[in-house]
Structure 1
Amino acid sequence: MTTNNQSSKDVDQRISMVTGEPKRAIRVLAMPMIISMFLIMAYNLADSIWVAGLGPNALAALGFINPLFMIVIGLGNGLGAGAMSLIARCIGAQNKKGADNAAMHSLLLTIVVSAGVTVVLLVFLKPILLLMGAGVTVDLAMQYGQIVFGGLIFFMFSNVASGILRAEGDVNRPMYAIAATTILNVILDPIFIYYFGWGVSGAAWATILSSSISCVVLIYWLLLKRDTYVSFSGKDFKASWNVVKNILMVALPASVESLVMSILGIILNFMLVITGGAEAVAVYTAGWRVVMMAMIPPIGIGTAAITVGGAAYGARKYKNLSTALSYSAKLGVGIALVTATLTYVFAGSIATIFTYSPQSAFMAPSIAAFLQVMFLFFITVPLGITASSIFQAMGKGFTSLILTVLREVVFVAFFAYLFAFTLGFGSSGVWWGIVVGGGLGCAVAYTWATIYVRRLKRNY
């Protein structure tokens, strides 16, 4: 009885925190999310670091798989964001049954979507890679991709299950699951890649085996231990297209956002192949992993804003919604200034992480130069992330998608082409296109979100 009472008390405290003062809620929720995302990035970074020792072709092979992998992760993140947004809005509206039904629908959608995507990718993987320009690296990319995409349900389920927990303010347990997964992957990578001699296939098997651990732990917490706000009971499940639609109204645009960014990655890889060959792709692949590390704090803050903003929107507390928007942006930019400065100063040292072997040592100066150009990109990206998160929190996923397309396709792709080819800057022009286009797109997105939320406050 004591255990049950304590669990109920913990749930009540989490719900009160999510629906309470926005600034405190964002700080409390963001930190475990940031830690979780650092662990996820370390999980992915381990593959690049260990595979880099196999030479630039192996690292470039991961670069060609990465955009496709981000599509898969984007689908899981999209479904997780859809579940998180709807559950948080139900919590704000004090609709417990609605939250339960949303959680059950999201898990069923995950199973269906992951099965379909797995089949498509395994059948068409090689033609897609050749179309992307993989060329001499296609066999290595196939070795890695077939294994990773064969187990994509693990990635998608983990994202959705974590989103369900985060919607009710439980951000610690997803972090614990990811920590166990990351540690196992870091341990298994060198064993599978070098000790067993499996090469890039070893990196893929380490990723799949370790990611399955997260699923097992999350299944136990959600379906067996049952100490969460949302509950999973067959008798309470009511199939509803309206619930599915509400999830997909955020999930589909969020997933397409990842698809758009992956398409941009493919476009940038094409430009890099033309301007600098496989070496330019390898430099971008290694450097972008570091950029993604720097983007984790604003992404974590934005994820917290989905929960807090969703609860505020569900309760029609638009002042709290406005606070969530402005505070998240300020906090994200403040942290970004610090990480940007550190990255700029220590770019050379960071580059050596990817160039420790004789085969890859020659790339160190180019990776360092890439990181120093990205300095300015770090500072503006929190504005775009925060704007997208707030629109997702309100269930306005298609607005978030429009902003992403504007930023990635209209601005980044245009300026990358302009600087790389029209102005003749080559590979470094692609880098500057990311900085200038991304900065403009993020500024437009944040301005749009600010105007929208102000109108809600004024009209309510």
Structure 2
Amino acid sequence: MNKSDTNMESSKSGVDKRVEMITGDPKRAIRTLSVPMILSMLLMMAYNLADSIWVAGLGPNALAALGFVSPLFMMVVGLGNGLGAGANSLISRCIGADNKRGSDNAAIHSLILAFAVSLLLTLLLLLVLPIILRIMGVGPAFDLAMQYGEIVFGGLIFMILANVASGVLRAEGDVKRPMYAMMATATLNIVLDPIFIYYFGLGVAGAAWATVISSAISSAIIMYWLLLKKDTYVSLSKKDFTASWKVVKNILSVGIPASAEFFVMSLLGIFVNTMLVFAGGTEAVAVYTAGWRVVMIAMIPPIGIGTAAITVAGAAYGARRYNHILTALNYSVKLAVAIATVLSLGIFIFASSIATIFSYSAQSSFLAPSIASFLQVMCLFLITVPLGISASSVFQGMGKGLTSLILTALRELIFILLFSYLFGMVLNFGVHGIWWGIVLGGAIGCLIGYLWALRYIRGLIKSYKNNKSPGEASN
């Protein structure tokens, strides 16, 4: 056996182990998959956080500019994640049903969709960006927000492509290589930020260029693994592709609702920013922008665990192992709540120290006490978040993207928005009332999501035992 044959056998063995892992013990699969995912997301947030930290040195208006663009940026990231979730769900269901051809075709369709959607969305966002910013009441931060937004949205294709390609790899249990790509990307972004912002004197535009260049590197690395190295379970050759609206529909049945979930969350961010402007001005938005970055970092373990649950639930659903789906739901919730509780305690204790990271300059030092107060309130929000995240992820894995979207919309646009407006504006509790509205609304919405998922999965188990199986994996 020559060296090439040895490498092919080793690669095949690695693929077989990954497939066996995602179709085996759900608890072990979630632990194995979630660690690299959490690390990848931490790295992603690290370079997003680096933007805020370096831009904070430019003053409150610059930091607020990032805050106004962030909800729109979340829509972009959400679109890529949504299409990636659609690919992940369909491919993992095909793997669970032992449908190799279906998984290959789904992977190719996913990448084609990524290119088409990103090009259309880039044109749309560049056209409507100034209109949206004026509606949000950006005020003195308008020019800075435009500088940042035009560059970031101009590089949209790299962000979406990297997320979708990562979803393809995750579907077959390969979560390490997306982590390696993100590691290189985060390191590059953190290095480029101060160079572009201060050394070249580009200001907030420098932060945007660092983000785009880093995203381009990430997408190039992952596409190399998929298209050139060819050591994955899925194949991306021309002979493996058969154009099918049914495949597109199956990807989008999860991808569109999953993307819409980020749209809903971004929409909430726009509403919250608008309420904060009325309650406390652009300084309140700057506090929320800085503090929410920390909250998002603390949410990464529950999100990473939930993302692992998509793959595990998808494979189990394709194989009709509904008890495995129930195990995946409950185990992911327990694991994520335990981690979130520890992180919340740490944030509560060290809130003042964390706040100084965003208020190190003379222009922003006065924000530190408010940022610390915000973080201490949000600690309660973090503990309940895993219930909603795990429920939505399991529904996505089963191909029930619309259900996941409904749960997110209930949580974000009904409960959180309602209580934030009630406490902050109607009862006139101001900025602090808006914060507490987020906490209470989030807790109620997440609990409803978990109970909904629990009831649905138990229904699947009961139906299957009565020889009324609810369907097979799509191909």
TM normalised by structure 1 equals 1.00
Counting only pairs closer than 5 Å after superposition, residues 389-404 of structure 1 correspond to structure 2 as 389-404=393-408
What is the alpha-carbon distance in structure 2 between the residues aligned to residue 154 and residue 44 of structure 1?
16
Residue 93 of structure 2 is aligned to residue 89 of structure 1: yes
3-state SS of paired residue (1:374): helix
Per-residue CA deviation, residues 256-278 of structure 1 (Å, 9 max, x unaligned), is 11111111000000100000000
The code of the aligned residue for 1:185 comes to N
Residue 448 of structure 2 is aligned to residue 444 of structure 1: yes
Residue 82 of structure 2 is aligned to residue 78 of structure 1: yes
Q: How far off its partner does 1:222 sit? A: 0.2
Q: Of residues 310, 323, 331 in structure 1, which corresponds to 2:327?
A: 323
> What residue in structure 2 maps to residue 424 of structure 1?
428
Residue 358 of structure 2 is aligned to residue 378 of structure 1: no
What is the alpha-carbon distance in structure 1 between the residues aligned to residue 10 and residue 238 of structure 2?
26
Q: Of residues 124, 142, 150 in structure 2, which corresponds to 1:138?
A: 142
> What residue in structure 2 maps to residue 408 of structure 1?
412
What is the alpha-carbon distance in structure 2 between the residues aligned to residue 226 and residue 99 of structure 1?
15
> What residue in structure 2 maps to residue 39 of structure 1?
43
Q: Of residues 155, 172, 187 in structure 1, which corresponds to 2:159?
A: 155
Q: How far off its partner does 1:311 sit? A: 0.1
What is the alpha-carbon distance in structure 1 between the residues aligned to residue 152 and residue 133 of structure 2?
15
Q: How far off its partner does 1:434 sit? A: 0.5
Per-residue CA deviation, residues 150-189 of structure 1 (Å, 9 max, x unaligned), is 0010100000000000000000000000000000000000
> What residue in structure 2 maps to residue 434 of structure 1?
438
3-state SS of paired residue (2:299): helix
Count how many residue pairs are aligned between Structure 1 and Structure 2.
460
Q: Of residues 15, 18, 27 in structure 2, which corresponds to 1:23?
A: 27
The code of the aligned residue for 1:76 comes to G
> What residue in structure 1 maps to residue 170 of structure 2?
166
What is the alpha-carbon distance in structure 2 between the residues aligned to residue 134 and residue 316 of structure 1?
51
Deviates more, 1:204-213 or 1:442-451: 204-213
Per-residue CA deviation, residues 367-389 of structure 1 (Å, 9 max, x unaligned), is 00000000110100000000000
Residue 268 of structure 2 is aligned to residue 264 of structure 1: yes
Q: Of residues 356, 367, 370 in structure 2, which corresponds to 1:352?
A: 356
What is the alpha-carbon distance in structure 2 between the residues aligned to residue 159 and residue 232 of structure 1?
17
What is the alpha-carbon distance in structure 1 between the residues aligned to residue 257 and residue 223 of structure 2?
27
Q: Which runs of 4+ in 1 moved over 6 A?
A: none
> What residue in structure 1 maps to residue 233 of structure 2?
229
The code of the aligned residue for 2:117 comes to V
Residue 187 of structure 2 is aligned to residue 183 of structure 1: yes
What is the alpha-carbon distance in structure 1 between the residues aligned to residue 425 and residue 434 of structure 2?
9
> What residue in structure 1 maps to residue 467 of structure 2?
none
What is the alpha-carbon distance in structure 2 between the residues aligned to residue 452 and residue 174 of structure 1?
32
Q: How far off its partner does 1:19 sit? A: 0.3
Per-residue CA deviation, residues 343-366 of structure 1 (Å, 9 max, x unaligned), is 000000000000000000000000
> What residue in structure 2 maps to residue 278 of structure 1?
282
Structure 2: gaps (5+ residues): 465-475
Per-residue CA deviation, residues 379-422 of structure 1 (Å, 9 max, x unaligned), is 00000000000000000000001101100011000000111012
Q: Of residues 188, 196, 203 in structure 1, which corresponds to 2:200?
A: 196
What is the alpha-carbon distance in structure 2 between the residues aligned to residue 154 and residue 421 of structure 1?
40
Q: How far off its partner does 1:235 sit? A: 1.8
What is the alpha-carbon distance in structure 2 between the residues aligned to residue 205 and residue 459 of structure 1?
53
What is the alpha-carbon distance in structure 2 between the residues aligned to residue 396 and residue 380 of structure 1?
22
> What residue in structure 1 maps to residue 468 of structure 2?
none
What is the alpha-carbon distance in structure 2 between the residues aligned to residue 351 and residue 277 of structure 1?
19
What is the alpha-carbon distance in structure 1 between the residues aligned to residue 22 and residue 118 of structure 2?
30
The code of the aligned residue for 1:134 comes to V
Q: How far off its partner does 1:86 sit? A: 0.2
What is the alpha-carbon distance in structure 2 between the residues aligned to residue 436 and residue 134 of structure 1?
28
The code of the aligned residue for 2:373 comes to A
What is the alpha-carbon distance in structure 2 between the residues aligned to residue 347 and residue 144 of structure 1?
28
Per-residue CA deviation, residues 184-213 of structure 1 (Å, 9 max, x unaligned), is 000000000001100000001111111111
Identity of matched residues, %: 68
TM normalised by structure 2 equals 0.96
Q: How far off its partner does 1:459 sit? A: 1.1
What is the alpha-carbon distance in structure 1 between the residues aligned to residue 139 and residue 273 of structure 2?
12
The code of the aligned residue for 1:131 comes to I
3-state SS of paired residue (2:363): coil
What is the alpha-carbon distance in structure 1 between the residues aligned to residue 321 and residue 51 of structure 2?
44
| RMSD of aligned residue pairs (Cα, Å) | 0.5
Q: How far off its partner does 1:116 sit? A: 0.3
Q: Of residues 280, 298, 303 in structure 1, which corresponds to 2:302?
A: 298
The code of the aligned residue for 2:332 comes to S
Q: How far off its partner does 1:424 sit? A: 1.4
Q: How far off its partner does 1:48 sit? A: 0.4
